[in-house]
Amino acid sequence: MTGPNDTLYMALTHELPGFLSKSLLQCKRLPALPSVALRVLDIARSPKATLSDYAKAIENDPALTLRLIALANSAYYARSTARAQTCLDAMQRLGLNATLAVILGFTLFTHAQGHDYHCRMWQRSITSALIARYLAEQLCPESSGTAFTLALLQDIGILALQAAYPEEADTLYADAALSHGDIAQGELAHFGCDHTLVGAWLAAKWGMPDATVMAIRQSHDSFLVKDKVLLCMRVSGPIADAWLSRSAASKLAAVLYQLKSVSHTSALELDDVLHHVQQQSDILANALRMTAPVDIDSTTLLSEAHQLLFQHTLALGTQLDDQQQALVSLRSPDADRQTHSLRDASRAIRRSGLTRNTGKT
Pair 195, 237 in one domain: yes
What pLDDT, in 10s, does the model give residues 189-219?
999 999 999 999 999 998 888 999 999 999 9
**Domain harbouring 276, CATH code:** 1.10.3210.10
**Is residue 301 a part of any domain in this protein?**
no
> Is residue 232 included in any domain, yes or no?
yes
256 plus 354 within the same structural domain = no
Q: pLDDT grade, residue 357 (50/70/90)?
A: very low
Give the confidence band of 361 by pLDDT, cuts at 50, 70, 90. very low
What string of DSSP letters covers 85-117? -SHHHHHHHH-HHHHHHHHHHHHHGGGGTT-HH
Same domain, 177 and 253: yes
Rounded mean pLDDT of the chain? 81
**79 and 182 share one domain:** yes
Flag whether 183 is in a domain.
yes
Question: Are 312 and 280 within one domain?
Answer: no
Same domain, 128 and 61: yes
Most trustworthy range by pLDDT among 83-87, 244-248, 354-358: 83-87
171 and 224, same domain (yes or no): yes
Grade residue 258 by pLDDT with cuts at 50, 70 and 90: confident
Q: What confidence score (pLDDT) does residue 358 get?
A: 44
Pairwise CA distance, residues 339 & 255, whole Å: 30
Q: 95: pLDDT confidence band, cut at 50, 70 and 90? A: confident
Residue 352 banded pLDDT, cuts 50, 70, 90: low
Please identify, among 261, 276, 296, the residue that sits at the C-terminal boundary of a domain: 296
Q: Residue 217: what pLDDT?
A: 96
Phi, psi of 40 (to 5 degrees): -65, -40
What pLDDT sits at residue 288? 60
For residue 263, is pLDDT > 80? no
45 and 139 belong to one structural domain = yes
Report how far residue 308's alpha carbon sits from residue 302's, in angstroms, rounded to the nearest whole number.
10
**351 and 234 share one domain:** no
Which residue, of 296, 317, 349, is where some domain finishes? 296
Distance CA 283, CA 270 (A): 21
pLDDT of residue 132: 93
- Within-domain flag for 216: yes
The residue among 123, 88, 338 whose CA lies nearest residue 243 is 123
Domain for residue 318, yes or no?
A: yes
Whether 188 and 317 share a structural domain: no
- What confidence category does residue 94 fall into, taking pLDDT thresholds of 50, 70 and 90? confident
Domain limit, last residue, from 258, 277, 296: 296
Residue 264 has what pLDDT?
Answer: 72
The region of weakest confidence among 87-91, 119-123, 183-187, 319-323 is 319-323
For residue 5, pLDDT over 80 is answered with no
> What's residue 253's pLDDT?
86
Q: Is residue 18 part of a domain?
A: yes
**Residue 148 phi/psi, 5° resolution?**
-60, -50
User: What band does 283 get if pLDDT is binned at 50, 70 and 90?
Assistant: low
Percent of the chain scored above 70 by pLDDT? 74
Tell me which of 300 and 29 has the higher pLDDT.
29
Lowest mean pLDDT among 42-46, 282-286, 330-334: 330-334
153 within a domain of the structure (yes/no): yes
Domain-embedded: residue 1: no
pLDDT, position 245: 82
The interaxial angle of helices 228-243 and 116-139, nearest 10 deg, is 130
- In this structure, the answer to whether residues 202 and 330 fall within a common structural domain is no
Whether the pLDDT of residue 1 is over 50: the answer is no
What's the confidence (pLDDT) of residue 102? 81
Model pLDDT, residue 238: 92
Q: Is the pLDDT of residue 50 over 80?
A: yes
Residue 99: its pLDDT value, please?
A: 85
How many domains does the chain contain in total?
A: 2
222 or 102, which is more confident? 222
Same domain, 77 and 59: yes
Domain range enclosing 160? 6-296
The pLDDT assigned to 348 comes to 63
